[in-house]
Amino acid sequence: MLLKEYVEFTVSEFSEADLHYGHGTGTALDDAVYLIYVTLGLEFDQDFRESNRTLSESEISLLNQRVEQRVSERRPVAYIVGEAWFCGQPYTIDERALIPRSPIAELIQQRFAPLLQSTPGRILDLCCGSGCIGIACALEFEAAKVDLVDLSSKCLELAKINMRRHGTFDRVRAVRSDLFSNLSGQRYDLVVSNPPYVSEQEVDSLPEEFRHEPRMGLVSGEEGLAIPLKIL
């Protein structure tokens, strides 16, 4: 089977299964290309010339397993392949943290203009999850020191993997804290946060894909505003 035929097959499987998209992809085609290209170790934005190549039996067998997981378990592709993209960079991801997808990426790429008047020396990423926002800030502001803060030690383990992956270990540190509780005396030029903001009631009505994500990354009290209001 040719790679492009496998993409067509996967799109039709995904469409028939009526999956939910929104964990880094927007359509069945995006989702299929992401799963297939990352699994095969191909650059999905550059390697379309590969689409006429014949897949080996072992490649098809691995892809079949992954397509099956996506359809029957509704597991988002980022968790299946262990990678998500944020601000143009890859991040290691698994069920310990929410899949990176915050629109804060655009603010980072614009260096927070016009909100920020000067280059920040110290940055706080509060509720950091995989660390994607804080690490992307560290990559954008090359001299900044960044604190990644989360209450979940599992998220901080993953954030440390991503700090290492992006060579930011000397300027970025991971701190376990319930919001600001372990940060007394610290001052920052920029505080960035993508906190949980889903209500208890709403979370159970979300598509099944969200059940693979840590509840603590989504739910924020009865109305969804408990944590954002505490931060403000």
Residues that bind ligand SAM (CB under 6 A): 97-98, 100, 102, 127-130, 132-133, 150-152, 155, 178-179, 194-196, 216-217, 227
**70 Cβ contact partners less than 8 Å away, ≥ 6 residues apart:** 14, 19, 31, 35, 76, 77, 80
Least CB distance to ligand SAM at residue 181 (A): 8
Distance of CA 108 to the CA centre of its chain: 15
Least CB distance to ligand SAM at residue 67 (A): 25
Q: Whose Cβ is closer to ligand SAM: residue 63's or residue 105's?
A: 105
Least CB distance to ligand SAM at residue 198 (A): 9
Q: Whose Cβ is closer to ligand SAM: residue 25's or residue 194's?
A: 194
Q: Whose Cβ is closer to ligand SAM: residue 14's or residue 224's?
A: 224
Q: Whose Cβ is closer to ligand SAM: residue 40's or residue 126's?
A: 126
Long-range contacts of 164-171 (CB under 8 A, 24+ apart): 165/90, 165/91, 165/92, 166/89, 166/135, 166/138, 166/139, 168/135, 168/138, 168/139, 171/138, 171/143, 171/144, 171/145, 171/146
Q: Which residue is nearest to ligand SAM (CB)?
A: 129
Least CB distance to ligand SAM at residue 20 (A): 17
Q: ∠ CA(101), CA(114), CA(159), 5° rounding?
A: 30
Q: Whose Cβ is closer to ligand SAM: residue 10's or residue 224's?
A: 224
How far apart are alpha carbons 75 and 68 in whole angstroms? 10
Least CB distance to ligand SAM at residue 197 (A): 7
Least CB distance to ligand SAM at residue 147 (A): 12
Q: Whose Cβ is closer to ligand SAM: residue 25's or residue 152's?
A: 152
φ and ψ at residue 117, rounded to 5 degrees:
-90, -30
